[in-house]
Amino acid sequence: MNKIKFFPITALLATLIMSIQTVRADDAAIQNPCTGLSALLALLDRPTVSDSACVVQYGQAVLEAGYQHANLTGTGGGTADNFPEAELRFGLPGHNELVLLPPNDNLQQVPGSPHLQGFSATTVGIKHELGYTKHWLGAVESLFTLPSGSPAFGSRGTGVAFNGIVAYAPSNDTGISLQLGVTSQTNPALAGGGRFTSVNPDITITWLPLWNLQFYGEVYGQNRTGPGLGSGFDADGGVQYLLTPYCEVDLEEGVRLSGNLGGFTHYFGAGMGFLF
């Protein structure tokens, strides 16, 4: 996977985004794919690494939260826990949404080393829906990570990310999402605080056998996982269930495929999502 060429992926995503004919919700002939009884499953960013191509509708809000436990790579192994994995998204006029990711509390335990505990950085951003057709949906987003958080888990400098997201629905109960991002970010101060830029592809496949039950699988990666480091790829999968159209619960599990993206061998997690 280290030899994957990212230019064809970039060109494909750009072509798909530009080819989407803008159709808005006032066109009654085509239903907005981000609305309906299962809307929350389409709207949620968690538990996938990729973000949804849907924006929160104007006047609504989505709250997400979760917990994750990971087994770490390295000779000594160890574990890492983080929570509450909170994300707040607010629907804005013009098919936009405001995104806020507050800090996570992180605890890292490695045998023979002092425990590390601290907060991750705060991230804010905005997403814009480009439009949709019967089978396609496109969006772009910008995210800004503030120089904040603890020396062990925070961001020493400002980070930026630009993502293009295209979702394709072959049928009423299946979906494929392709996200491609470019990020410039800094490591935590205790890890040297160095800056690096990466290209981040992500593909997610979903299956909705019932209106309130969804399964997903995802493969994602970065062509740089740190200053002077090579690529890394991981995979995850899980299940999401709607208790009501406004409340979701989920379970997830992920594994390392190559490189050292995220610093884990595998992880599991659980969470919830709410639509207001």
Span 224-265, pLDDT tens digits: 999 999 999 999 999 999 999 999 999 999 999 999 999 999
Tell me: pLDDT of 107 over 70: yes
Q: Under a CB-based contact definition with an 8 Å cutoff, are residues 175 and 202 in contact? A: no
Tell me: pLDDT of 151 over 80: yes
Percent of all residues in the chain with a pLDDT value above 90, rounded to a whole number: 84
Give the CA distances from residue 230 to residues 113, 156, 216, 222, 225, in Å, rounded to whole numbers and listed in that order.
Answer: 26, 21, 27, 8, 6
Question: In whole angstroms, what is the distance from residue 273 CA to residue 250 CA?
Answer: 8
Per-residue pLDDT tens over the stretch 54-70: 999 999 999 999 999 99
pTM greater than 0.75 (yes/no)? yes
Kindly report the number of other CB atoms within 10 A of residue 84's CB atom. Answer: 15
Per-residue pLDDT at 113 = 85
